[in-house]
Structure formats: structure tokens, C-alpha cells
Amino acid sequence: MSKSNYITREGWQRLDEELKFLWKDERPKVTKAVSEAAALGDRSENAEYIYGKKRLREIDRRVRFLSKRLDQLNIVYPEKQQEGKVFFGAWVKVIDENEQQFEYRLVGPDEWDVKKGEISIDSPVARALLGKQVDDEVMVKTPDGERYLEITEIHYKR
């Protein structure tokens, strides 16, 4: 399954800030630490040098990924005509068959965070909710079986 290229403004800003932090703050610090460790002599047994080089590779890999990914992403802004229906960026309150309430925000695959209630637009729950409105019931297939959710509220501002 391919990843969607959609992202909220907040999500794009978080990724951009991470990229800037890695490139302008973290990488120069690690580069300096590696240079200082290299000056100490034998690099083959120098843990600080070995760890620093490994950390630099991790930073460079993430910087390359973020640079490329940010160019591919499309920031989606909620439109007035979306009100009342579930689309990208919506906060959706649902109730399941056990009367448990949940609130999800449909976001891009690069920014989801279950702890914050943010789920990827590519997830089964988000796919089932798309285009629906208040009082609609949706069925979601999960590894544990079918799950039924009723939409109780939709909004685009927190």
C-alpha cells in the first residue's frame, strides 16, 4: 500500500523543524564530537568516534529522507464546504458498539500519533470514515474482527 502525499500544515511544520534542527544543530555538534574523538588517536577502539560516525550516518539518512519527502508532500487546508463531512484534517468523535468514545484526527502518514488521537488517512479506520457525516455508522475490518463505529461529531478546528 502506497503512502499518501497529504499532510496538515502543523505536520509539515514539525517535519521542517526536525530537518532544520538535524542540519543546523545536531549534525554540527556530532561532527565536532567526532573530530575531537578522532584526534585522540586509535579510532578502531574509540567508542566515541565509532558512535559519532554511526550517529552521523543516522542524521544524514534522516536529512535525505526529510528533504525528499517534504518536496513530495501536499499541504491540505480544510475548505468551508467540507463542514459536516469527514475529510482529511477532520477531528471525528465516534462511539463503538461497547459505548466507548474515541476521537480521531485524520492526518497524513508522515505525522500520525495515536497518543494524540491522530491516525493516518491510509489506515482502515480513516478510510471507513472518509466522506461520512454525523450519525453514520461505519464498519471497520480489524485483525480482531469487524468493528462498528457511529460518528457523533465532526469538526476541523481543535
Question: Given this model, what pLDDT does residue 51 score?
Answer: 93
27: helix, coil or strand? helix
With 0-12 CB in 10 A as exposed, 13-18 as middle and 19+ as buried, what is 131?
A: exposed
CA distance linking residue 121 with residue 106, whole number of Å: 5
SS3 content of the chain, % helix, strand, coil (to 5): 45, 25, 30
Task: Please write the tens of the pLDDT for every residue from 77-87.
Answer: 988 778 889 99
Q: What's the whole-model pTM score?
A: 0.81
pLDDT tens string, the chain, 158 residues long: the values are 557 899 999 999 999 999 999 999 999 999 999 999 888 877 778 888 999 999 999 999 999 999 999 999 999 998 877 888 999 999 999 999 999 999 999 999 999 998 999 999 999 999 999 999 999 999 998 888 899 999 999 999 87
Domains present along the chain, CATH in parentheses: 6-75 (1.10.287.180), 80-155 (3.10.50.30)
Strands of 23-116, DSSP E: 74-75, 91-96, 101-107
Q: Tell me the C-alpha distance between 25 and 132, whole Å.
A: 44
